């Protein structure tokens, strides 16, 4: 199923509750929350209290993308704060299996994210335990960067491996540079969950922006 996931990184943080609710009214499927620690990536965004406040203010599915060095310590804390799914980077300092176990023990969904230079095969040993794989189509850290079309073969390889393993409902997410011009390439390569920050929050009419993005995926 095709899902549109606005990234609040590009929203007006002084009006966070409204910005999330407006995307719900616009027909978004989930909310993508970018957490950056200034160490794993060269930027700092938001942390646990913001996720806890979001949880109180919305029933939208909260997809929390941890761009942090220590997801083993903090992943379970984001689960407790109200994340519905915690996605961590395979390139972090934490052992992936331990992070998966820690998130699942909280009863939450779990995903693994791959930076552009990381091979698709790195995630293969964990696929059958995951709810989602996130293929970064920019170097993580900042919104508004250019979509890396050369990540499409990685999407194809992961989708094919999921099919081979019978994981037919696996969500494959793309994040970075998704807009009306780039979404079709990612969709036809096998992605079905589309993060968009600047292409949605940068527009005056959120419903029109969400609808257009959805339409362009299949174009
Ligand atoms: C980048 C973040 C993205 C970012 C995407 O490191 O993970 O979620 O918000 O922003 P756009 O859609 O503007 O590329
Ligand atoms: Zn993200």
pLDDT averaged over every residue in the chain: 98
Is 21 near ligand 1, meaning CB less than 6 Å away?
A: no
Question: Within 10 Å of residue 163's Cβ, how many Cβ atoms?
Answer: 12
Is 42 near ligand 1, meaning CB less than 6 Å away?
A: no
8 Å CB contact between 88 and 75: yes
What does the alpha-carbon distance between residue 175 and residue 178 come to, in Å, rounded to a whole number? 7
What does the alpha-carbon distance between residue 153 and residue 105 come to, in Å, rounded to a whole number? 33
Reported as a pLDDT band with limits 50, 70 and 90, residue 104 is: very high
H-state helical runs in the chain? 16-25, 48-57, 71-81, 96-104, 152-164, 183-188, 198-201, 206-217
Reported as a pLDDT band with limits 50, 70 and 90, residue 136 is: very high
For 55, the token pair is 């949880």
Q: Considering the entire predicted model, what is its pTM?
A: 0.98
Which atom of ligand 1 is nearest to 144's Cα?
A: 13
34: annotated binding-site residue? yes
- The residue-averaged pLDDT of 61-72 equals 99
pLDDT attached to residue 53: 98
Question: Within 10 Å of residue 84's Cβ, how many Cβ atoms?
Answer: 16
Question: Within 10 Å of residue 27's Cβ, how many Cβ atoms?
Answer: 12
Q: How many residues does the chain have?
A: 219
- The residue-averaged pLDDT of 57-65 equals 98
Percent of the chain with pLDDT over 90: 100
pLDDT attached to residue 119: 98
CA of 114 from ligand 1 middle (Å) equals: 14
179: annotated binding-site residue? no
Q: What is the pLDDT of residues 1-41, one digit of tens each?
A: 999 999 999 999 999 999 999 999 999 999 999 999 999 99
For 191, the token pair is 């992605």
pLDDT attached to residue 47: 98
Q: What is the pLDDT of residues 105-126, one digit of tens each?
A: 999 999 999 999 999 999 999 9
Whether 131 sits among the annotated catalytic residues: the reply is no
List, in order of start, the domains of the chain with CATH numbers: 3-217 (3.20.20.70)
Whether 211 sits among the annotated catalytic residues: the reply is no
ipTM for the predicted complex comes to 0.99
Is 10 near ligand 1, meaning CB less than 6 Å away?
A: yes
8 Å CB contact between 6 and 203: no
8 Å CB contact between 86 and 62: no
Is 63 near ligand 1, meaning CB less than 6 Å away?
A: no
pLDDT attached to residue 111: 99
Name the active-site residue from 63, 131, 175, 179. 175
CA of 6 from ligand 1 middle (Å) equals: 9
């Amino acid at each position: 199923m095709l899902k549109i996931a606005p990234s609040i990184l590009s929203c007006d943080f002084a009006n966070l509750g409204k910005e999330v609710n407006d995307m719900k009214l616009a027909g978004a499927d989930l909310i993508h929350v970018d957490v950056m620690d200034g160490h794993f990536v060269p930027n700092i965004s938001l942390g646990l209290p913001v996720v806890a406040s979001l949880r109180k203010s919305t029933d939208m599915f909260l997809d929390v993308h941890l761009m942090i060095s220590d997801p083993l310590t903090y992943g379970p804390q984001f689960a407790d704060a109200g994340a519905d799914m915690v996605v961590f980077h395979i390139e972090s300092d934490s052992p992936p299996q331990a992070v998966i176990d820690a998130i699942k023990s909280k009863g939450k969904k779990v995903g693994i994210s791959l930076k552009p230079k990381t091979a698709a095969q790195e995630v293969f040993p964990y696929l059958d335990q995951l709810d989602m794989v996130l293929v970064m189509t920019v170097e993580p850290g900042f919104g508004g960067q250019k979509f890396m079309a050369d990540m499409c073969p990685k999407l194809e390889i992961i989708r094919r491996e999921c099919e081979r393993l019978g994981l037919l409902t696996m969500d494959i997410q793309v994040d970075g540079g998704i807009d009306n011009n780039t979404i079709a390439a990612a969709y036809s390569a096998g992605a079905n969950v589309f993060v968009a920050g600047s292409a949605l929050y940068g527009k005056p009419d959120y419903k029109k922006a969400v609808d257009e993005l959805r339409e362009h995926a299949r174009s």
